[in-house]
Chain A
Amino acid sequence: MKLSFSPRLSPFLKPSLFTNVHRSVCSASSIPPPPTTPKPQTPLFLRPPTHSTTTSDLQIWHDWANTLASSVGSTFVDLDNGPDSTLLRRELKWLMEDAIEEPKNIDNNDGSVRLRVEIEELYMLWKQRVEERRPFQYVVGCEHWRDLVLCVEEGVLIPRPETELIVDLVGDVVLGNEGLREGLWADLGTGSGAIGIGIARVLGSGGRVIATDLSPTAIGVAAFNVQRYGLQDVVELRQGSWFEPLKDVEGKLSGFVSNPPYIPSDNIAGLQAEVGRHEPRVALDGGANGMDDLLHLCKGAAVMLKPGGFFAFEFPSIPRFATTLESQNEVLVKAKTLVFPNCDYKTNDEEQCKYLVEYMENDAGGSFCNLNMVPDFAGINRFVTGFRR
């Protein structure tokens, strides 16, 4: 997902994956995803209810799963800010919703229940969830995000609740601006396609979105999701690293959004098990200070956007609980002073985003205006937005 070819990207550097298919923006519907794209797994809730079991067997499974969830207590919270028993029990309820054909009518079906997986697999899935800390969204194969239900699987970043706000930011911007509403937008590093699909639904009838990702798995999953929401004519998927697949639309974008990897490399090991052990590193690791990809995007934004165009990026906020906070800030300051030796940087976790804004204000050749930092619902500065002059 980076422009520079670093060794960790080697699995994706097969030559065939870098032949960019240059297609016209609106013709994606007629062409199936490239043959190299793996077929995504069907999420649990979309599988046919071809298995059946008895209510009593299901009850036994549920009791077992509930006990397993309760046994966790606050162990994971203390360990790495993972889920507690309450949350796991809520997930168990959702797993039932997804796995059972008619979750509300269990008692009315004379003792038998139709399932979308075999009951043995339910045991396995819940074991994976609790014992291996496999993310719940991978277990059920979907993530509820905004008003969407998006298919996800290993190899694709699970869209985060915080990121939902990007769509609201875009929605607000296009509300009073027809030029942006009917224009061409890009979502770089789309993953499951979440942001791309989200903004496609707030744009006008003339609005189009190009969503890119380096990972063929992600492109396959995103294509599935785009199809499910009937947006094949609106969202075009292109495979490649950042701006590479967008050469034909340079200076033509009305809007440009991204949630690039922004976790400092050294922090990956200490992440919550669900993230660190299971989610794709390529979607998380933002280089030594977490800013590599963001800076790359900032630089590119000036070239890609047309005058008046809007951008919104999600960016890092250094975890307050991290024990390596001190060292992180040292790295950060070092990195900043390397890039901008004349600036005086403080070792403050808020500085990271201010630095980004400052960069865009002062050092990007005055290409941007109305730069703004937008906090998420937890009050943490999460997004930087602005317009191309």
Chain B
Amino acid sequence: MSSFILRRRASSSGSWQLLCPNPEAKSGFFPNLLFSTLSESQPGNLNQPLNPQNVLHPIGKHRILDSGFSSFSPNTSKTPSRSLQNLTFSSSIFVSGSKPLALSSGNAASGKNISGCGVLGLPTVKSLYSGCGRFGLVCLFGTQAAVEPSTCDGLTVDRIIASEWPILDEDESDWKSHAAAIAQSIHLIKKRLQWKKLLVRLDMLSAEVNKPDLWNDPVHAGKISREHGSLLGKMKEVQAFERELLEHVDMVKLAREENDAELESESMNALLNMRRTSKEKEIEALLAGEQDPCSCYIEVQAGAGGTESNDWAAMVMQMYKMWAQRRGYNMTVVDEMPGEIAGIKRATIKVDGEYAFGYAKAEVGVHRLVRISPFDSNKRRHTSFAAVAVTPILGDASEHVQINESDLRIERFRSGGAGGQHANTTDSAVRIVHVPTGITATCQNERSQHQNKASAMAVIQSRVDQLEMAHQNKMNAQYSQSLTDITWGSQIRSYVLQPYRMVKDLRTNYEVSDPDSVLEGDLDGFILSYLSACLDKDEDDN
């Protein structure tokens, strides 16, 4: 997985291009379709012949804005139509959440889950509850269908899914099975990329990019064109993958008509390869957020309850250290405030590596431990809590919020005595308070005050950036809580060591019966199930 991400980062055009070396050439099969997909991203092209997509844009936009608004305010999510959808989809969400392997559509679609997953992508079924007043939804699906790539005989990705072809093992040489598995992956990837929102946003950005006065504000222009390029790249990748699938389906059919065994096996192999890479793309699509590729800080704070609670916080911190190590991330301790007898009151680590934030953001919230406390001489069962916050470290300095020196209060963390020549201490901990926001950071693990200050300052910068991003983009609000904002009610996961042994995520119901492995950093199952459930739910809400 990580090597795959690296590969993707290494190629500016993205791995889709790598896997499909020349999609543009192949798309010669569908000249009209190619034009219509380009038109989505180039609305400013006035020479464009009248296109149904353009006509319907206002409706599409309205729909997205509507859904965008509702996702900004999670409290409104209990509208009747929404809860109806949630009910309908809950089974499939939880199925995919309860097994790590279910994340790949091939498995999710096995057995009785086939219909559950298929339903998600079916325009016909969706339209069943368009009666709830979601007119725009049907319209957009209609338009989508009109411009979607298709095979010579009109087969589209959606229709492949609707056909409910059984998905067999990879080694079964059945093109329908491969095609169905890939189609489901494409559907899942689109869902995770928030496809319809992405298209609308891309339209807005394209319009912006084509404005003649764009570069009057170079900073803004840089930001816009960066985002435009990134979204356009994502869209083209998915579309190329779609076209590739349909081409191969065409080729298989052609080969059968012509009795060309060589061509048939060639296309079959191509489909099999696509099926394998689609799994990687599914995971990659989970991490499509703007800050996901960033490094991050992970901060753990012990709840009330003294030593037992401090020990739990230390266990949680250790879990993340080992998780970071497993993923090959570079980990450094920034700040550590030990408990009086054992454990920690609070600690911050910096996790350096690609997609560290993308994964770690799934851990934000309160983690609960139930066990017989080794610190209780009466051997009673205790429940303790530890809060986890995650902050992305923005790589691009131009995106940093400017912090005024005068807004900072810098103090020695443990000052006592006269200092200077009177004292010789290796303790040069520094605390920085950003007065306007009240954000505080401490660093004591560096060997000089200067470095402690620089480390603490970097934490302050990231927190202030995060706060600013939260203001700008409420979509990420769920990740941008600072520790003080995390109420002890927002429990995300429960770790029970006694009387039974189990770790269960309260958001996804994903559970593991071996707490030791989890505490040793085997967290990816929890993280991926949460990320997929989270994005899948987002899309259903739309």
Contacts of A279 in B (CB 8 A): 424
Kindly list chain A residues whose C-beta atoms are within 8 Å of the C-beta of B447.
94, 144
Instruction: Output the least CB separation between B318 and chain A (Å).
Output: 16
Given A145-B448, A379-B411, does the pair A162, B426 have CB atoms closer than 8 Å?
no
A377 and B418 contacting across the interface, CB-CB below 8 Å: no
Q: Give which listed residue, A90, A164, A284, contacts B450 with CB less than 8 A.
A: A164
- Which B residues are in CB contact (< 8 Å) with A272? 422-424
Per the CB 8 Å criterion, the residue count for chain B at the interface is 27
**Is B422 in contact with A263, judged by CB distance below 8 angstroms?**
yes
Contacting B at CB under 8 A, from A98-152, are 135-137, 143-148
One of B416, B418, B423, B425 near A87 (C-beta < 8 A):
B425
Contact with B along A359-378 (1 / 0, CB 8 A): 00000000000000000111
B79 at the interface (CB under 8 A from A): no
Shortest distance between the CB of A140 and any CB in chain B (Å) = 10
CB-CB < 8 A to A259: which residues of B? 421
B471 to nearest A CB, angstroms?
A: 30
Question: Are A81 and B423 interface neighbours, CB within 8 A?
Answer: yes
- Asked whether A164 lies within 8 Å of B424 as measured between CB atoms, the reply is no
List A contacts of B422 (CB < 8 A).
263, 267, 271-272, 275, 319
B421 with A262: CB separation less than 8 A: yes
Residue pair A146, B450 in contact (C-beta under 8 Å): yes
Flag the segment in A153-161, A180-188, A222-230, A297-305 that touches B: A153-161
Is the C-beta of B419 less than 8 angstroms from some C-beta in chain A? yes
Q: Is the CB of B419 within 8 A of A81?
A: no
Q: Which of A35-43, A54-62, A310-318 contacts B (4 or more CB under 8 A)?
A: A310-318
Instruction: Using CB atoms, name the residue of chain A closest to B453.
Output: A377
| B449 close to A90 (CB less than 8 A) | no
Closest residue on chain A to residue B333 by CB atoms: A93
The smallest beta-carbon distance between B495 and chain A, in angstroms, is 26
Question: A145: which of B411, B416, B423, B450 is its contact (CB, 8 Å)?
Answer: B450
- The answer on a CB contact under 8 Å between B418 and A319 is yes
A261 in contact with B415 given A90-B426, A377-B430 (CB within 8 Å): no
Q: Are A314 and B450 in contact (CB under 8 A)?
A: no
Contacts A144-B451, A377-B411; A81 near B421 (Cβ below 8 A): no
Residues of chain A within 8 A (CB-CB) of B444 are 90
Name B418's contact: one of A146, A161, A164, A380 (CB within 8 Å): A380
A164 and B417 contact, CB distance less than 8 A: no
- Alpha-carbon separation in the docked complex, A143 to B424 (Å): 11
Contact in complex: B421, A86 (CB < 8 Å): no
In the complex, residue of chain A having the shortest beta-carbon distance to the beta carbon of B337: A86
> What 1/0 mask marks residues of chain B from 424 to 454 whose CB sits below 8 Å from any chain A CB?
1111101000000000000011111111000
Asked if A196 is at the interface (CB within 8 A of a chain B CB), the reply is no
Interface centre among B412, B430, B448 (most CB of A within 10 A): B448
Residue A274, interface by CB 8 Å: yes
A161 and B417 in contact (CB under 8 A), knowing A83-B425, A279-B424, A319-B422?
no
The answer to whether A382 has its CB under 8 Å from any CB of chain B is yes
Given A161-B448, A161-B449: A318 touches B418 (CB 8 Å cut-off): yes
> Total A-B residue pairs with C-beta atoms closer than 8 Å?
112
Q: B337: shortest Cβ distance to chain A, in Å?
A: 10
Q: Which B residues are CB-close (under 8 A) to A146?
A: 448-451
Q: Does A91 contact B (CB under 8 A)?
A: yes
Residues on the A chain within 8 Å of B427, using CB? 83, 87, 90
Also in contact, A377 and B449, with CB within 8 A (given A162-B419, A320-B417, A321-B417): yes
**Are B418 and A94 in contact, CB atoms less than 8 angstroms apart?**
no
Residue-wise interface mask of A (256-277) relative to B, using a CB-CB cutoff of 8 A (1 in contact, 0 not): 0001011100010001101100
CB pair B417 A319 closer than 8 Å: yes
Contact B448–A376 (Cβ < 8 Å): no
Q: A144, B417: Cβ atoms under 8 Å? A: no
B412 and A144 contacting across the interface, CB-CB below 8 Å: no
A90 partner residues in chain B, CB cutoff 8 A: 426-427, 444-445
Given A87-B425, A87-B427, answer yes or no on A147-B420 (Cβ-Cβ < 8 Å). no
In the complex the two chains form, is A274's CB within 8 Å of B449's CB?
A: no
A376: chain B residues within 8 A (beta carbon): 412, 419-420
Determine whether the beta carbon of A81 is less than 8 Å from that of B416: yes
The answer on a CB contact under 8 Å between B426 and A263 is: no
**Cβ of A378 and Cβ of B412 under 8 Å apart?**
yes
Q: How distant is the Cα of A320 from the Cα of B417 in the complex, in angstroms?
A: 6
Pairwise interchain contact A136-B426, C-beta atoms closer than 8 A:
yes
Q: Is the CB of A317 within 8 A of B424?
A: no
Q: How far is the CA of A317 from the CA of B451 in the complex (A)?
A: 25
Q: How far apart sit A231 and B416, CA to CA, in the bound complex (Å)?
A: 36
Docked pose: A147 CA to B451 CA in angstroms: 7
Partner of A160, one of B411, B415, B416, B421: B421
If A87-B426, A91-B426, A279-B424 touch, whether A147 touches B448 (CB-CB below 8 Å) is yes
A333 to nearest B CB, angstroms? 19
- Most B Cβ at <10 Å: residue of A81, A261, A318: A81
**With a CB–CB cut-off of 8 A, which chain A residues contact B426?**
83, 87, 90-91, 94, 136-137
Does A81 lie within 8 Å of B417, measured CB to CB? yes
- CB of B421 within 8 A of CB of A261, answer yes
CA A230 to CA B338, docked complex, whole Å: 40
Nearest Cβ distance between residue B314 and chain A, in whole angstroms?
14
B410 at the binding interface (Cβ < 8 Å) = yes
Return B25 CB to nearest CB of chain A, in Å. 48
Closest 5 CB pairs of A and B: A378-B415, A144-B447, A319-B418, A161-B449, A146-B450
Residues on A lying within 8 angstroms of B by beta carbon are 81, 83, 86-87, 90-91, 94, 135-137, 143-148, 157-158, 160-164, 259, 261-263, 267, 271-272, 274-275, 279, 283-284, 314, 316-322, 376-380, 382
Additional 16 contacts, C-beta under 8 A, given A83-B426, A262-B421: A94-B426, A136-B426, A137-B424, A146-B451, A161-B448, A163-B420, A263-B422, A267-B422, A275-B423, A279-B424, A283-B421, A317-B419, A319-B422, A322-B418, A380-B415, A380-B420
